[in-house]
């Protein structure tokens, strides 16, 4: 978006961990963490479906770790906050079913190699990474603030600040841009599940005070800000009771809120041998370092792989016209600085650890968790040297 002329708006959405799709994502990543903690070489492709009174876990798993599916699912649901039958879904009474097979031998043949560094990609496809200077996290402003609102919504619920809130919720931020720069927030949307007894006035007042104005910087708010809170007037029925949830249905809010490209692959429930996840993390790492090195105002990275082959079949790094050097030079520099084979991605980003449940909600990018190595900016000098700057 940087470089666009005139005024325009861009909108991004976030959901809380109690949204049914995120309940599913979190269970899938909890399964992955449980296994990778015991066996770092676990191969996991786990999908979860949640609906009224039911958690169903399916997929392909090859691991020496022990897994109690029911316990992992129930612990995850409890941690999210579905702890009472009054909500229509709770960790004690929901049924947990599973259907798990081993990883396909055909896929395994492509991934496993005699020389570990020649490990092939776990699938074909393209992955994108993105970064820009709109926020301190080098994320696009609309998704950055939408996630902050969602996290604050959950915080006020779990801390009892707004004790009428229930786990399900959504936020949306429309940012106004002028010549490619964010200048103000035009409107904010919050949909928050709540207890039956609370009045709409209390919900609106509480969310405005404790969530919106406690989160959004004053310089982005003016007298023309429009705020929409629970616009039907009632949001009691939510979570898996209100809507079926599935792993991998929130891939845009998982990444850049629609501002960067997306290859279509979901992240949650997949071990790092799946380049859908690990190469997307690497692409973010590259893009963030390019921007942090002041080589561009924004950067998008595309990587493409084919199953069983270690090296990517294509690499593109573009500054969308905002770079100090041209895109060809940027791409050559990236190929020089970063080893993009899956083995080295996993090694350099330290991905064989149980860190994935924490990534499943509020975006996989833009959070300074020390275990999220893809958010570090430790390659800036190497990139500048490679670009001869």
pLDDT in tens, 229-277: 999 999 999 999 999 999 999 999 999 999 999 999 999 999 999 999 9
Lookup: tokens for 159: 């801390």
- Rounded CA separation 176/173 (Å): 10
Kind of pairing between the strands at 298-305 and 314-318 = antiparallel
Percentage helix, strand, coil for the chain under 3-state DSSP, each rounded to 5? 35, 25, 40
Q: How confident is the model at residue 136 (pLDDT cuts 50, 70, 90)?
A: very high
User: What is the biggest distance separating any 2 CA atoms in the chain, rounded to whole angstroms?
Assistant: 65
Task: Please tell me the least confidently modeled range out of 78-82, 121-125, 345-349, 361-365.
Answer: 121-125
pLDDT at 87 over 90: no
pTM above 0.85, yes or no: yes
State the DSSP code for 173. E
- In whole angstroms, what is the distance from residue 318 CA to residue 64 CA? 42
Distance CA 25, CA 22 (A): 5
Contact 371, 357 (CB under 8 A): no
pLDDT for the residue numbered 73: 98
Which helix (H) or strand (E) segment holds residue 285: the answer is helix 275-292
For residue 147 the two structure tokens come to 């996630």
């Amino acid at each position: 978006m940087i470089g666009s002329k005139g005024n325009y708006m861009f909108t991004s959405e976030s959901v809380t961990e109690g949204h049914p799709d995120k309940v599913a994502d979190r269970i899938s990543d909890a399964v992955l963490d449980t296994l990778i903690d015991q066996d770092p070489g676990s191969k996991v492709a786990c999908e979860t479906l949640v609906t009224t009174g039911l958690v169903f876990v399916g997929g392909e798993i090859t691991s020496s770790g022990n897994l109690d599916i029911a316990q992992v699912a129930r612990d995850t649901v409890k941690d999210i906050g579905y702890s009472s039958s009054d909500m229509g879904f709770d960790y004690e009474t929901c049924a947990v079913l599973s259907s798990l097979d081993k990883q396909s031998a055909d896929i395994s043949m492509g991934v496993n190699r005699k020389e570990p560094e020649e490990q092939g990609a776990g699938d074909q496809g393209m992955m994108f990474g993105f970064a820009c200077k709109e926020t301190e996290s080098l994320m696009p402003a609309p998704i950055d603030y939408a996630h902050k609102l969602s996290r604050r919504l959950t915080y006020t619920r779990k801390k009892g600040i707004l004790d009428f809130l229930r786990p399900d919720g959504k936020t949306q931020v429309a940012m106004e841009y002028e010549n490619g720069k964010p200048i103000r927030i035009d409107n904010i949307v919050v949909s928050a599940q709540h207890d039956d007894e609370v009045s709409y006035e209390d919900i609106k007042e509480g969310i405005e005070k404790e969530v919106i104005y406690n989160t959004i910087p004053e310089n982005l708010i003016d007298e023309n800000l429009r705020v929409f809170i629970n616009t039907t007037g009632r949001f009691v029925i939510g979570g898996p009771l209100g809507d079926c949830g599935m792993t991998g249905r929130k891939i845009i809010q998982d990444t850049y809120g629609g501002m960067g490209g997306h290859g279509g692959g979901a992240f949650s429930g997949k071990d790092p041998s799946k380049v859908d996840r690990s190469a997307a993390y690497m692409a973010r790492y590259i893009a963030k370092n390019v921007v942090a090195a002041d080589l561009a105002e924004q950067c998008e990275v595309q990587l493409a792989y084919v199953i069983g082959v270690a090296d990517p079949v294509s690499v593109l790094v573009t500054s969308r016209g905002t770079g100090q050097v041209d895109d060809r030079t940027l791409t050559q520099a990236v190929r020089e600085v970063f080893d993009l084979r899956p083995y080295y991605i996993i090694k350099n980003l330290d991905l064989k650890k149980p860190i994935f449940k924490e990534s499943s909600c509020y975006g996989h990018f833009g959070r300074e968790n020390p275990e999220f190595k893809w958010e570090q900016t430790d390659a800036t000098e190497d990139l500048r040297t490679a670009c001869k700057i």
